[in-house]
A and B are shown apart, each in its own frame.
Chain A
Amino acid sequence: MMTVALFAAFAAVALAAGAAAVWRAPTWAPVVLALALAGVMLLYEATGLALVTIAAVGAAGLVMTVARGPARAGAPADHAGGDAPPARLGARRIAAVAGAVAGLVFVLVGTWARQFLWTGRELAPGSGFGELPGLGAALAGAPALLGVGLVIVVAAAACAGPPRHRI
């Protein structure tokens, strides 16, 4: 019961951070999201992934904060038009997106409920699954995965230079 309450708290924080990221696009949202998801992953016995989440998403959030500048941290996103007022969303577009999202909710939740809710899959009590050695073994046994990860890191390092100034 305590675990479920902890999960509910972490999930509420994660969803609130996700909603904030979508609604106002503040730079702190990825960091809060990473911390809350790390808590969820700890509850699901994915210790290594909790570390990866904080390192990857949290660090990306910090970099985004720096890229945006300290004066604008937490401020709503600028619009591409500069001084032009932001375009308002039409009711038709909002309705179309809401319909698509509602359909996806129905499909995703329905599918997962059928697959997992009634089968009742659970790990055996005392299982050591998901701890850091398991993640290390999984990565060590997948050289292609490590190669792709290396390419991503190198590409990110190559692209994440100082911002180009327009002349």
Chain B
Amino acid sequence: MPITHVYYLASGLWLLGLAGVLLRPDGWARTLALVVMLVGAATVLVGAARAWAAADIHGLAALLLALAGAYAVVLATLQAAPDREGS
């Protein structure tokens, strides 16, 4: 597998996320777009790890993916549907 393919995929994901962050007005969509950006960044690390044969980069990518997951969960909880009864 050529190394460049994964970079194109990662750049596509990252730029999609960036466009979502800049264009979407609501917090929920921005959260998802930020998760897409973080996942795209982790995908870059996957390609870099293979290109340089450095397994340490896999650890960093794993940390980034865990960060994306935790980030999504926390923000989803904080942005849960508001209680319409009292408003």
Binding site for B on A (CB under 8 A): 3-4, 7, 11, 14-15, 18-19, 21-23, 25, 29-30, 33-34, 37, 40-41, 43-46, 48-49, 52-53, 55-57, 59-61, 63-64, 67-69, 72, 77-80, 82, 86-87, 89, 93-94, 97, 100-101, 104-105, 108-109, 112-113, 116-117, 121-123, 127, 129-130, 134-135, 137-139, 141-142, 145, 148-149, 152-153, 155-156, 159-161, 163, 165-167
Within 8 A of A (CB), among B17-64: 17-20, 22-29, 32-33, 35-36, 39-40, 42-43, 46-47, 49-53, 55-63
Q: Are B33 and A78 in contact (CB under 8 A)?
A: no
A166 contacts which of B14, B28, B67, B87 (Cβ < 8 Å)?
B87
Q: Are B1 and A3 in contact (CB under 8 A)?
A: yes
A163 to chain B: which residues have CB within 8 Å? 77, 80-81
Q: Are A11 and B9 in contact (CB under 8 A)?
A: yes
In angstroms, Cα B6 to Cα A16, docked, is 15
Q: Which of B18, B69, B77 has most A Cβ within 10 Å?
A: B69
Q: Are A60 and B33 in contact (CB under 8 A)?
A: no
B66 to chain A: which residues have CB within 8 Å? 52, 56, 149, 152-153
A139 contacts which of B49, B59, B72 (Cβ < 8 Å)?
B59
Measured CB to CB, the nearest residue on chain A to B36 is A18
A155 contacts which of B74, B84, B87 (Cβ < 8 Å)?
B74
14 contacts between A and B (CB under 8 A): A7-B6, A18-B36, A25-B24, A52-B66, A59-B69, A60-B73, A67-B76, A80-B25, A89-B25, A121-B51, A123-B50, A127-B53, A138-B58, A153-B70
Q: Which of A67, A117, A155 has most B Cβ within 10 Å?
A: A67
In angstroms, Cα B76 to Cα A25, docked, is 12
B23 contacts which of A68, A89, A108, A130 (Cβ < 8 Å)?
A89
Q: Are B70 and A156 in contact (CB under 8 A)?
A: yes
Measured CB to CB, the nearest residue on chain B to A76 is B29
Across the A-B interface, the 5 shortest Cβ-Cβ residue pairs:
A56-B69, A22-B20, A163-B80, A156-B70, A60-B72
Q: Are B11 and A166 in contact (CB under 8 A)?
A: no
Q: A68-B76, A159-B74 are known; give 18 further A-B pairs, CB within 8 A.
A: A22-B20, A33-B39, A34-B39, A44-B46, A44-B47, A46-B61, A53-B65, A56-B66, A57-B68, A67-B77, A89-B25, A135-B55, A139-B62, A155-B74, A160-B73, A160-B74, A163-B80, A167-B86
